Structure 1
Amino acid sequence: IKETLFFFGGIYRLKATFINSQCEFLSKLLDLPPCDRYVKTLSGGQQRRVSFAVALFHEPELLILDEPTVGVDPLLSHSIWNHLVRQSTEHGRTVIVTTHYIEEARQAHTIGMMRSGRLLVQDSPENLLNNYRALSLEDVFLKVCIKDDGKNPLDRETATNANDSNPVAAPIQNSTRRNSNLARNINQIDTSETEHPSSGKSPCFKIPQMSAHRIGALIRKNYILSFRNIGIFLFTYFLPALQASLFNVTLGHEPTGLRMAIVNDELDVNQGRVCNYTMDCEYSMLSCRYLRYIKDNIIQVQYANVSDALEAGRKGQVWGVVHFSWNFSKEFEMRELNGDAADLANVIGSQIGINMDSSNQQIGLFIEKWLLDAFGDFVRDFRRACGNVPEAGLLPVAFLDPIYGQKSTPFTEFMAPGLIISIVYNMAVALTAGVFITERKQGLLDRSLVAGVKMPEILLSYLINQFTVLIGQTALVFVVMLSVFNIPCQGNLAVAVLITLLQGLVGISFGLLISTGCDNEMGALSLSQASFLPLLVISGICWPIEGMPLYLRKVAYVMPLTYAIESVRCIFSRGWGVEKSNVYAGILVSFAWIFAFLALCLIVARIRKFAS
């Protein structure tokens, strides 16, 4: 309760001493629960009294109340009416009250009785009782309604159009005199400071002037709500770092424990199929010599024949079959000696037959690469033992030092920039997609707008709050990526952090747009989650954009994350700076999306306002 009153006190720019005195006074006047109670734990009647306290808090010159004493005990109702009367008589404030309890309105200076949206009569309580010769205001209202029912519809409409405030009763001299005085007072109102929109501009989308004290009050309120549940806050704060850790632990690493069936017909069954080979220049048991160079990630499982090995592959027990013919070493020697003169039978006999389970492309590519690398190492080592040039037996294609990166750049380094930006972006969207919805359901958003808060101020306050959280989340993600898992960054780290923070602001802006346009949490959650997968697959996070169809590439470059990911990737792997178009494009596009989303927020909020 105290936080609520202090929040609106900050919006109205009230001094701390006045806020404290008002809290104490209104607590006694309205018999409020202890100030440290949460509003959500109060009963319906207590919540109405807190709402009433907010309305009275800043002592407005015009106070409009709808059923202020409903559900309130008679003693408290009497106290409330006495306070309203004092506000009017002693401080000159105007109080307009709507109520179904006619008798309690007797303390008002003027009473207007309405029926079906029409004002039937308006006068002081004393004049109404005297003019209608009634003992209670309820009797007055009854007589007025009976008189109104006696008029035909045409006369009723004519009377309404002629003068909405004209009573149906005969004696109206006092009312007419009071209306003339009211009109004279209205004419005396100073309108010199009233701003009139120019004829050529529409005032509907005029950006209002923002106030620092209102923004400060909104920021304090947002921080209080953020830290209210410290467990949830800490979880969301460290969640991006946890996601980055899971990415580095699970993605991009070489698979291990891959079983491959080995069928080596060179081994003698009578000698127990034992590999006996030397490292000299001898064309004997070359199959065993080759198997020695296969990476330990592959588990070699010996099979007696090809049919059993293939059956194991069909059952999913092995990822492939490696077969050596019984005369592999001899045919390999003949192929070396004959060179281009080797016949087809000699070529086939010296080949290593491999049948792969290609159902998993990534594992298949790893195994294929390791088997080829093993053969290259085998050939180089064997030719070196024979006194020949080791590279002479390889393909006449040499991959020299790369321009950027390493010869065997891991896939993790390719995905890291995209994962960093996507983690920060999606976390920002998730944290802001429901903020307006919650406040709208609680009534806090409308109450703030009525108190004079402008929509740009609300957006700016959320941007500031979420950005401070975003800074810490981004720092943790970069620490995990670069320091813990040693992802290299060849360029300016500050520029990469700047682009990531801008993408976080893009996510915050998009989340605010979702929250502005949706009416419930389910719709906001669905929309935010629905945008996740398209961005993941189209923005070049997991796969190069060059692998997409041409028409889809144009769509990809329109996405908020694409240019930013490419910029950070160029900084990480190529060491480029902001002077390169690939880098500064990510900065410019991020700013463009931020302003676009915020502008859409204001437009959607204005449309919802006029539509309602």
Structure 2
Amino acid sequence: MTEDVIEESADVLASPQRIDSETINSASDSGVDGVIVRNANKSYGSGKNKYKVLQDLNMTVKKGTIYGLLGASGCGKTTILSCLVALRTLNSGEIQILGHELGSAEIGIPGPQVGYMPQELALYGDFTIHETLTYFGRIYKLKTKFVKSQLKFLSELLDLPPSDRLIKTLSGGQQRRASFAVALFHEPELLILDEPTVGVDPLLRHNIWNHLVRQSVDHGRTVIVTTHYIEEAKQANTIGMMRGGRLLVEDSPGNLIRNYGLPSLEDIFLKICLKDDGKSSASQLTETSTSTRTSSNETCLAQITQPSESSTKASNQKRTPDDKCHTVKTVSKKKRQSLNFRSSLPSPRHVNVLIRKNALVMFRNVIVFLASFFLPAIQTALFNVTLGGEPTSVKMAIVNEELDLNQGRFCSNNTMIDCSYSMLSCRYLQYINDNIIQVPYDNVTDALAAGKNGEVWGVIQFGQNFTEEYEIRQLDGNSAELENIFRSRINVSIDSSNQQIDAFIHKWLVEAYRDFCHGLMKACGHEPGAGYMPVVFTDPVYGQKDTQFTESMAPGLIIAIIYSSSLIFITGVFVGERQQGLVDRNFVAGVKLVEIFIGHVGFQFVMTFCQTSTVLITMLLIFKVPCHGNVILVFFISLMQGSIGLCFGMLIASICDNINGALYLTQANFLPILLMGGICWPIEGMPSTLQVIARFLPVTYGIECLRSICSRGWGIEMPVVYMGFLVSFAWIFGLIALTLSIIRYRKYSS
């Protein structure tokens, strides 16, 4: 009864821009439509920069047919396809696929019900053809026997190269065919192909279209394909012609040629575009679309716009159109909430496949693998070899006015061990560390000039009567005159442009004076310690009196190396996959966002585990940097800091769309941590405001924790140690939550 009413009222048609959810549900209930899009709008940007990509687009694809979507580049073809596979979301409008709302649990999209071939290659270049299809076969949970048979069949159909060839070694056309094979591989109910025949020779293009026809006719599969070759679209059951984000016409090739009286689809497309002129009003578009609309659209439109009395009574007995729309949306919302809850649970099978994929990609790239595995250990070795050692061959100018210039400028080589107040300047110089090379000068002027020219690191000057004045000062003690004190001094001027060399020179000269006094007091029968300063540094609470620079820097350097290595590698890998479209293709295949995250972080965590082990082995065993605490605690706090680097890297990768931006953010993140995290300099030496900020950095508590374990031997019961672990845990979970939120937001707001 209802069908008769529809046919009788088919001549009264409403604007396609006004088809609401009633249309969608009526069409899907009839079982004839595979894909329905109504009032689709999509725009990017905001304000003056807002750009509309789709404008009130309506599209109907019958189930078991081929739909050819034609249009110039930039007209919105790729955008609407990406919306159909849930890679992007509409700003407004409705999409139903195979009778279900897009995103519902029954539809299987994203998932095994759809085969998607994007414009970009979106394949792993380090995989062979066989490995590529096997990888997606595991994602789709296909049996090994089916995978082998499909590989053989598709290799013959698409004339693929030998299956052991790496994707990156194939030509552009061969790569496109391999990508097409992935879309066909699992025999999905819906095929969405974005320009599958680009770069393919005419004979192979003919075979591809024949295969698509067989898939639709023999197996009832629905195919949506875009193409630049307009004439090949004649083999499609329905053609949709797009321009400026709008669907100008939707009809079969035969009807278009007959209605427009033109011999080719190109001529028809040109005529429609000229008529549209890019500025057609909504009414003009309605008229054009109405004249070429398919019969299925006419029946759906007629049922809504001109219902008969009987159909009205029938609909009133069930529900009003408004009630029905409300009911559909409510049910869909409940389904979507349930689906989101289930989608938050990762599949162990998918995670396992993704981790194996990441491992294979890493192992195939030998240079990157070796760098990621051994570079941290090499950096640790370079740190121990290049830092912390005492400088050697440090030249110091010696101006000794005690020497009789007529007898030469050099002191006698005779070692003075008796209690003799004679040439004490030479006696002192004999105690100076051998790392200082003593260069004699006749006068202070020449010596200072040599220092300014960079020939020496400083000047040591003794007055003309240094020995006599020193002896008087010793005898007079507290009653020594100021003039005597000045003349008995050893004057030292140092080039302080290098703080480390300056500190070492100070240390060596003070030690030389201590040994000089000790030797003189002992030779004269006095208490050797009488000439020492009254300030005595006894055994330290922790560490040693002469703690090596490498030992004090080791905790900060360990964490800096592990953190930065984890950060850089995972950022580059994930951004690279996003940029190549690999993440999107995995998502369309049914891989959840949380699974992609776990797959990357899980594999990189194994690499971080290995990197942490090699760094600690190099630092503690090979270079003997002392560790007074529990080595297990050292390992775990280092591993957790590396995990923070992993999570920070994923956060950066989720924000950036290209490698350059990720590298800039990585460097911008690492430099403040290097400077303010207590790696190079204690945070106590910073301004008070920066000290507060430094406490919020991810590595600060970790470095303090590691330093307390290694240098102080503290355990987990100490506040500094357990705070390091607690803060690290908080950073890890906080970064994971933030990263997943950003990925999900960008996914559903794109």
- By the TM > 0.5 criterion, same fold? yes
CA gap of 1:195–1:422, structure 2 versus 1, over 3 A, is farther
Q: Could you report, residue by residue, the CA deviation over 1:424-469 in whole angstroms, capped at 9, with x for unpaired residues?
A: 1111111122223322332222111111111111111111111111
Measured after TM superposition, the shift of residue 8 of structure 1 is 0.9
Query: Within 1, Cα distance between the matches of 2:416 and 2:733?
Result: 71
CA contact (8 A) 1:537 1:543 kept: yes
Query: Does structure 2 conserve the Cα–Cα contact (< 8 Å) formed by 1:281 and 1:385?
Result: yes
1:222 aligns with 2:350: no
Larger CA deviation: 479-488 vs 31-40: 31-40
Aligned AA for 2:358?
A: N
Q: Within the alignment, does 1:597 sit opposite 2:725 as a pair? A: no
Aligned amino acid, residue 296 of structure 1: D
Between the aligned partners of 1:567 and 1:133, the Cα distance in structure 2 is: 79
Q: Following the alignment from structure 1 to structure 2, what is the Cα–Cα distance between the partners of residues 34 and 86?
A: 25
Q: Structure 1 residues 281 and 9 mapped into 2: Cα distance closer, same or farther (>3 Å)? A: same
Identity of aligned residues (%): 54
2:662 corresponds to which residue? 524
Aligned counterparts, 1:499-578, within 5 A: 499-578=637-716
Which range moves more in the overlay, 18-27 or 389-398?
Answer: 389-398
CA change 1:179–1:341 in 2 (3 A) is same
Q: Is the 8 A contact 1:112 1:119 kept in 2?
A: no
Q: Amino acid of the residue matched to residue 462 of structure 1? A: H
Tell me which of 143, 164, 172 is aligned to 1:44.
172
Q: Distance in 1 between matches of 2:376 and 2:161?
A: 40
**What is the one-letter code of the residue matched to 2:696?**
V
**Contact (CA 8 Å) 2:411, 2:426: kept in 1 or not?**
no
Distance 1:244 1:134 in 2: 77
Matched with 1:385 is 523
Q: Would you say 1:27 and 2:155 are equivalent positions? A: yes
Task: Name the residue aligned to 2:238.
Answer: 111
* SS of the residue 2:459 aligns to: strand
Moved more, 427-436 or 198-207: 198-207
User: Quick one: distance in 2 between partners of 1:201 and 1:29?
Assistant: 42
- Gapped runs of 5+ residues in structure 2? 1-128, 304-317, 319-326
Match of 1:239 among 375, 384, 409: 375
Cα distance in 1, alignment partners of residues 480 and 282 from structure 2: 115
User: Alpha-carbon deviations, 1:87-142, whole Å to 9, x = none?
Assistant: 3344343334455667656665x43554653474546x78x499869898859968
Contact 1:432 1:512 in 2 (8 A): yes
Aligned match for 2:581, one of 432, 438, 443: 443
**1:77-88 alignment to 2 at 5 Å?**
77-88=205-216
Matched-pair contact (CA < 8 Å) for 1:33–1:46: yes
Q: Which residue of 1 aligns with 2:193?
A: 65
1:399 aligns with 2:537: yes
User: Hey, what's the Cα distance between the residues in 1 that align with 2:630 and 2:567?
Assistant: 27
What is the number of equivalent residue pairs in this alignment? 592
Query: How much has 1:196 moved relative to structure 2?
Result: 4.8
Within the candidate set 275, 290, 299, 2:428 is matched to: 290
1:208 counterpart = 2:335: no
Q: Structure 2: which amino acid aligns with 1:267?
A: L
Q: Secondary structure at the match of 2:219?
A: coil
- Within 1, Cα distance between the matches of 2:242 and 2:423? 108
Whole-Å separation in 2 of the counterparts to 1:174 and 1:242? 69
- Asked if the contact 1:30–1:80 (Cα under 8 Å) also holds between the matched residues in 2, the reply is yes
Structure 1: distance between partners of 2:467 and 2:194: 100
User: What's the CA shift for 1:29?
Assistant: 1.1
Is 1:121–1:167's contact at 8 Å kept on the other side of the alignment? no
Deviation at 1:559, TM superposition (A): 0.9
- Within 5 Å, which residues of 2 pair with 1:432-511? 432-511=570-649
Deviation at 1:560, TM superposition (A): 1.1
Structure 2 CA distance, aligned partners of 1:9 and 1:322?
79
Deviates more, 1:512-521 or 1:434-443: 434-443
Given the two structures, how large is their TM-score scaled by the length of structure 1?
0.87
Greater RCO structure (CA 8 Å; 6+ sep) = 2
Cα deviation for residue 37 of structure 1 reads 2.1
Report deviation, 1:350. Answer: 2.3
Give 1:307's aligned amino acid. Answer: T
Q: Which residue of 1 aligns with 2:69?
A: none
8 Å contact 2:257–2:265 — kept in the other structure? Answer: no
Q: Deviations over 1:568-587 (max 9, x none)?
A: 11111100111111112222
The whole-number CA distance in structure 1 between the counterparts of 2:598 and 2:638 is 19
C-alpha distance in 2 between matches for 1:359 and 1:511 = 38
Mapped to 1, the partners of 2:597 and 2:402 lie a distance apart of: 76
Distance 1:456 1:77 in 2: 38
* C-alpha spacing 1:472/1:121, structure 2 compared with 1 (3 Å): closer
Give the distance between the partners of 1:173 and 1:536, measured in 2 at CA.
66
CA shift for structure 1 position 356: 2.2
Q: Give the direction of change, closer, same or farther, for the CA distance of 1:426–1:205 in structure 2 (3 Å limit).
A: farther
Check 1:443–1:340 CA distance in 2 against 1; reply closer, same or farther (3 A cut). Answer: closer
- Structural RMSD (CA): 3.5
Counterpart-to-counterpart distance in 1, 2:648 and 2:297: 59
* Equivalent residues of 2:260, 2:268 under 8 A apart: no
1:93 equivalent among 205, 210, 221: 221
CA distance in 2, matches of 1:444, 1:287: 76
The separation in 1 between residues aligned to 2:141 and 2:296, in whole angstroms, is 45
Contact 1:134–1:140, Cα closer than 8 Å, also in 2: no
- Report if the CA contact (8 A) 1:491-1:571 is conserved: yes
Q: Of 14, 30, 34, which residue of structure 1 is paired with 2:142?
A: 14
Q: CA deviation at 1:504?
A: 1.1
Q: How many Å separate the matches in 2 of 1:68 and 1:291?
A: 85
Which residue of the partner structure matches residue 248 of structure 1?
A: 384
Partner residue, 1:331: 469
Residue 389 and residue 98 in structure 1: after superposition, are their counterparts in 2 closer, same or farther (change >3 A)? closer
DSSP 3-state at the match of 2:454 = coil
Describe the shift of the 1:290–1:84 C-alpha distance in structure 2 as closer, same or farther (beyond 3 A). same
Change (3 A) 1:574 1:179: farther
1:481 Cα deviation from its structure 2 partner: 1.1
Counterpart of 1:423 in structure 2 is 561
- The one-character-per-residue Cα deviations of 1:56-96 (angstroms, maximum 9, x if unpaired) are 11111222334444554444344333433433344343334
320-329 or 540-549, larger mean C-alpha shift: 320-329
Give yes or no for contact 2:257–2:264 (8 Å, CA) kept in 1. no
Structure 1: how far apart are the matches of 2:600 and 2:469? 75
Q: In structure 2, do the counterparts of structure 1 residues 130 and 435 end up closer, same or farther at CA, with 3 Å as the change threshold?
A: closer
* Residue aligned with 1:31, SS: coil
- Residues 222, 465 of structure 1: 8 Å contact kept: yes
Is the contact between residue 448 and residue 459 of structure 2 (CA under 8 Å) also seen in structure 1?
Answer: yes
**Residue in structure 1 matched with residue 398 of structure 2 by the alignment:** 262
For residue 215 of structure 2, what is the amino acid of its counterpart? Q
For 2:442 and 2:660, how far apart are their aligned partners in 1? 60
Query: Quick one: which amino acid aligns to residue 598 of structure 1?
Result: I
Q: Which has the higher strand share?
A: 2
Native 8 Å contact 1:434 1:524 kept in 2: yes
Aligned equivalents of 2:203, 2:184: Cα separation in 1: 19
User: In structure 1, what is the equivalent of residue 104 of structure 2?
Assistant: none
CA contact (8 A) 1:103 1:136 kept: no
Displacement of 1:207? 5.8
1:183 alignment counterpart: none
| Residues 350-373 of structure 1, C-alpha deviations (whole Å, 9 max, x = no match) | 222222222322212211121111
- Inter-CA distance 508–277: structure 2 relative to 1 (3 Å threshold): closer
| Residue type at the aligned position of 1:210 | P
1:79-228 equivalence runs, <5 A: 79-98=207-226, 110-114=237-241, 116=243, 117-118=246-247, 120=249, 122=251, 128=255, 138=265, 156=284, 168=292, 172=295, 176=299, 196-197=332-333, 208-228=344-364
CA–CA distance in 2 between the matches of 1:521 and 1:572? 37
Counterparts of 1:586 and 1:605, CA distance in 2: 28
User: Displacement, 1:325?
Assistant: 2.4
Tell me the distance in 1 between the aligned counterparts of 2:257 and 2:609: 71
Deviation at 1:374, TM superposition (A): 1.1
Return the offset for 1:45: 2.7
